[in-house]
Chain A
Amino acid sequence: MDSNCHFPHLSSGNKFSTEEFIGQLKRQLAQAYAEKFLETVRGKCFEKCITKPGSSLGRGESSCIWRCVERYIEATGIIVLRNSLREFLMAV
């Protein structure tokens, strides 16, 4: 994780709750996953849709990007579905 990830801090005095800690941990992890996912999608869709960068984003390029994002999300779903990963992710 990068420097944006800091350790959960005590919210009040020295009282500390397991719930708080885990809550912050989950939030920070979720954020890290989302950022990583976006970075991947940017890379893939740039490669697929912006073949010849022009002076502005064409309508064809825009709709390609839109479809690309949808397909990549769908692809992720297929990968998860076709694995016991799905059961695991449902269980936790």
Chain B
Amino acid sequence: MDPSSLNSAELQRLISQEKERAVVNEMVAKLTSACWDKCITGTPGSKFSSSESSCLSNCAQRYMDMSIIIMKRFQSTQ
């Protein structure tokens, strides 16, 4: 075991990987919460109706589209 491994490039790479994963997890959580609110309007059933599942799917994709537009707009005003 290498005492200097605390500063190694390997450790930094692994930490950075976990950071990225944390960002993605956060995004999935937020997106699921928002899309649930938008799409699941009634009492939860024993399975999703086709409109509920397509709403959820669409919701995620539209959110991504929106993010891109916002980013572009923001960048164009810099």
Seen from chain A, the residues whose Cβ lies within 8 Å of a Cβ on chain B are 14-18, 21-22, 25-26, 29, 33, 36-37, 40, 44-45, 48-49, 64, 67-68, 70-72, 74-76, 78-83, 85, 88-89, 92
Contact = CB atoms under 8 A, between A and B. Distances in A.
Contacts, number: 97
Interface residues of B, number: 39
Given A79-B31, A83-B60, A18 B44 contact: no
Contacts of B10: 18
B18 A25 contact: yes
Contacts of A80: 28
Interface of A is mostly: helix
Interface of B: 1, 3, 5-6, 8, 10-11, 14-15, 17-18, 20-22, 24-25, 27-29, 31-33, 35-36, 39-40, 43-48, 53, 56-57, 59-61, 64
